[in-house]
Structure 1
Amino acid sequence: MSSFVIGLDIGGTHITATLVRVEQVLGNRTATIECDVFYTRSIENTKEKDPRSIISTWVECIEDLIHDFVKNHQENEAIIGIACGIPGPMDYERGVSYIQSTQLNKCEKFFGLNLHFSLQDSLRDLISRWKHVYNPKYFTPPTSPRTSLFDREKQVALEKSLHMKRANEINSTMNQASFHYKDL
């Protein structure tokens, strides 16, 4: 089984994500960028934006990467984590941002926000959406000789509609995501 980590470079006006392969060879762990594909999203006017909006842009970038991962990788390959580089000042152990510079005009509303919990909540929503989305890559059709092609197509259509209904239910509640602010 191959293991991958999503690598994030979060800046004041952008996010870049890539897939990193992690391997254990003769007791040594190595990490290599899987391919020269980088997923980038720009964030305009970070000073005025709500932190939830900025974090949702981060998650959209991660979702783009996951979408391509599902399309291009094998079923026995897995994403095992996310590594995130973000500028300070910050309490990296607790995940709390102390950005408050008025001269940089970037992410001032992150001050006191626990980015670890906020990103974790948003990723939970992303995972729950992906759990309920129909993925034809991993569909195994029935093998019974009595099952006609028409019956299989009908079954696929039924499963897809049930998955889409559930995904829509999850998306409707996604806007109510909670963000945790840490008291200083």
Structure 2
Amino acid sequence: MYKKILLAIDGSPTSDKVLTEVANVAAPGAVIRVMYVVEDPVTRLPSLYGEYYDVELVREALLAEGHKLLAQAGSRLSAKGFDVETRLVDLRELGGGIPEAIKAENDAWGANLTILGTHGRRGMRRLLLGSVAEQFMRISDGPVLLVRSGEQPAVPARRRTAAAKPASVPPLETDHA
């Protein structure tokens, strides 16, 4: 059982599972710090589109959403009897990426477990979108619990047909003329 647990949330259904899972690993009297990382919209929107979007309005909306999600998570965990702290991290101020921000928070606070959700992306989606959880796992020095999303990845058609074959296939008869 862990006494100082860092939860990184992003507002997805997987984050809801992370909030539920913490009860299974938290020691009585554990302190849980819930963090939300806000990316700088300038790094997400190519400068070509800068004239069409008010990037500061986007940033303000992202910050407001982060505060709202942290308040909801804090209330939910407090209702379960946990001592909860929340932390909004703004990458505009900190720099780096989300995995590095989580690691910095983990190291500075001294968490003895970090819990992240993983969206279970595969193939091209994983290549294009990346995986914060995977990147964090590569740089983390301490224990990490990954909570898988409820969505099951689609099984390719060739696997479905292979799985649909009977368990025992009679041997082929060969003609040894």
Same fold? TM cut 0.5:
no
TM-score range for the pair, normalised by the shorter chain length: under 0.3
TM-score normalised according to structure 2 size: 0.27
TM-score normalised according to structure 1 size: 0.26
Higher helix residue share: 2
Which structure is richer in relative contact order (CA contacts within 8 A, separation 6 or more)? 2
